Structure 1
Amino acid sequence: MDIGAINAGAEIIACVENDPDAAETLRLNNISGHESSVIEDDIRNVDFTDWRDGSDKILIGGPPCQPFSKNGYWVKNDNRLIDEDPRNMLGQFLRAVNELQPNGFLFENVESIRHPTNLPTFERFVSEARGLGYSCTVFRANSADFGVPQKRKRVFVFGVKGAIHAIPEPHQTHSDPSKPDLMNGFDPYVGVGTFIKKFAAEKYSEPQEDASSGTYYHELVHVPAGKNYIALSKLNNYDGRTFRPGGRFWNFLQKLHPDLPSITIAAQPGPWVGPFHWDNRRLRVPEIAAIQTFPDGYKFAGNRRSIQKQIGNAVPCLLGEKMVAHLIENL
């Protein structure tokens, strides 16, 4: 969202980042023009009154999403309770708003923060933000609706200080061409091909991309582009394993199609979780970064696992730009 904010015309004056590799990534790319603006610390240790003055400010952030993730529904211990999960930083976001007193804020999280299990916590968050004097708009976004080559659903909350009415929801710019009745003059979804084909050259190859010796490589080869494991049971003259529909996660053996948006780029994918390249290999770092609409040449610190996590946890830069621009336009 920092990249998106800059592209929307904002100036970054401070970034709070607790992960050492992610903080180093921000410094490597000189995200704000001065390294001292990257505060590598737990947000609970940061006093936001340090930036509280008369100038116009906005606060943007995405508190850790793990407590609200669909994967969390499988956890069966006491920490599954959202209010008891130590990763739940919603209260810290509200504290930052209260201390900074920005003109507006933009909050981001996973779509499943509105799941019935999580909804009371989320609604309390919105209610408390309103109690701090902010009119709030809750918006469920699909990245593909805004020109990102990825179907990635997220929830945003726009907060505007002292507004009489909540601001309108952002207007989408793209739509699914397979549903012509819903196009309404929008541009068609953007396929990944134009974003990642330039990274097909050998110089971009990585050892981790080779899946040929893996358990399900034969099955992967036979999955058509744009499909997942379910397609195997519908193939003619296919001699490999098939799987019961619904018996695997939907992204199992999911393969990209160059003319279609990607599925969500995951932060910590399993070994056979897609998206895979249509050339039957795992994606390369510049490819997953491009699908998240990072600028060409953006540098990432850390090992391969850490880089995947940073990219997968990010808001697509283009989506961030559209959301921050919408907030600024409505202050």
Structure 2
Amino acid sequence: MTQEIKAISLFSGAGGFDIGSHMANIPVVFSVDIEDDCIETQKLNDIFKDTIKISGDLFQISSDEIKNSLGDNYKGKSILIGGAPCQPFSKNGYWVTHKIRKGIDDPRAQLVNEYLRVLIDIKPDGFVFENVESLLHPTNKVIVDSFLEIAESEGFETNVIRANALDYGVPQKRKRLFIIGTKGTFKTKEPIKTHFPPEIASKENLQPYVNVGEVISEYDTDEYIEKQELTEGGTYHEDLKEVPPGMNYKALTAWAGYPNPKFVADKRFWNFLLKLHPEQPSWTITAQPGPWVGPFHWNSRRLRVPEIAAIQTFPKDYVFYGSRRSIQKQIGNAVPPLMAKEMINFLKESLV
């Protein structure tokens, strides 16, 4: 099996997708992101020491610039990886249905267009595109349909994967959409799952889902204390302490039989005062949580940087650059490396 496949990474962020590519033995030779902090994070980590790292707006970077910067790395087999920032597709919106040959005529799909532009110009042997699962919502689905039409017109066989990070060893419920394309032929229908619900795993001698306590308990010591984690004196601190592990604010409502209810069930966002249970997987780690939005630690505090990084399956020695807010955003926006690895391995099988 040849290992001469290389990856070009767009919207690289803190490098979660890119770490997954390295785990699949496909080194990332070029990465670009518009956030300076993300590129500085990559520079701090040896895994990317041989990667050409560009801080800039993809709109301003021509495909020829990418080709020229690659030099000899442009020879041989390559894949394109990345996920356009997903905020435009996280909520319902009005979509223009007219499609054009080289892109999608929609004001909020411009970054998807940039990915497609590079895909068409660079002509890799395969690609993995990641986004939120709600991109398949009927309101947004024209984006996916147009993406597939364009990729297939460029000679790619495509596969749309609805994936949950839990299935690939990530201790977190995190649903994502992957569009995978190959100039080869897919040998199976979808990536092989590595982890399973406990009831199935125990019966069939398989690996169960990874619980959050397994990966973050070591960080619950004074050595890792952060001033940002404290909730004492805050509006809902006393309420948070009353929420049992694995529950949210609904534990303090009449719905749960709470005496003198403090809240009304289903009147708040579900992750309000949401607390982890050490013997269950985590809920989705977000990029910009509100002050009382979870998941919180079962000890009634906010999660620490090494904890959210571990929940996202970043390597233990991975270093992040920037303010606490910036680092939360970088980690929350990332594709979990273990999840990325399995998606890229699935593509790789079709290329060799």
TM-score norm. by structure 1 comes to 0.90
Which 4+ runs in 1 deviate beyond 6 A? 75-78
Q: Work out the CA distance in 2 between the residues paired with 1:184 and 1:139.
A: 24
1:279 aligns with 2:299: yes
Which 5+ residue runs of structure 1 have no aligned equivalent? none
Q: Cα gap change, 1:310/1:128 in structure 2, threshold over 3 Å: closer, same or farther?
A: same
- Does the residue aligned with 1:59 lie in a helix, a strand or coil? strand
Post-superposition offset of 1:29: 0.9
Please name the residue that 2:46 is paired with: 30
CA RMSD of aligned residues (A): 2.4
- Does the residue aligned with 2:278 lie in a helix, a strand or coil? coil
1:210 aligns with 2:230: yes
1:192 aligns with 2:192: no
Alignment map for 1:220-259 (pairs within 5 Å): 220-233=240-253, 238-239=259-260, 241-244=262-265, 246-259=266-279
Alignment partner of 2:84 out of 63, 66, 87: 63
Q: Is the 8 A contact 1:137 1:167 kept in 2?
A: no
- Does the residue aligned with 2:29 lie in a helix, a strand or coil? coil
- Does the residue aligned with 2:48 lie in a helix, a strand or coil? coil
Q: Is the 8 A contact 1:64 1:87 kept in 2?
A: no
Pairs aligned (count): 321
Q: Work out the CA distance in 1 between the residues paired with 2:261 and 2:23.
A: 48
Q: Is the 8 A contact 2:273 2:292 kept in 1?
A: yes
User: Structure 1 counterpart of 2:28, which letter?
Assistant: I
User: Structure 2 counterpart of 1:232, which letter?
Assistant: L
Q: Is the 8 A contact 2:201 2:208 kept in 1?
A: no
1:39 aligns with 2:54: yes
User: Structure 2 counterpart of 1:260, which letter?
Assistant: Q
Q: Work out the CA distance in 2 between the residues paired with 1:183 and 1:49.
A: 51
- Does the residue aligned with 1:13 lie in a helix, a strand or coil? strand
Q: Work out the CA distance in 2 between the residues paired with 1:59 and 1:218.
A: 48
Q: Cα gap change, 1:26/1:236 in structure 2, threshold over 3 Å: closer, same or farther?
A: same
Which 5+ residue runs of structure 2 have no aligned equivalent? 1-16, 97-103
Q: Work out the CA distance in 1 between the residues paired with 2:25 and 2:184.
A: 23
- Percent of aligned pairs with the same residue? 46
Alignment map for 1:55-134 (pairs within 5 Å): 55-69=76-90, 72-73=91-92, 84-86=106-108, 88-134=110-156
Q: Is the 8 A contact 1:49 1:99 kept in 2?
A: no
Please name the residue that 1:153 is paired with: 175
User: Structure 2 counterpart of 1:58, which letter?
Assistant: I
Please name the residue that 2:29 is paired with: 13
Post-superposition offset of 1:243: 2.1
Post-superposition offset of 1:236: 5.7
Q: Work out the CA distance in 2 between the residues paired with 1:152 and 1:280.
A: 22
TM-score norm. by structure 2 comes to 0.85
Post-superposition offset of 1:30: 3.4
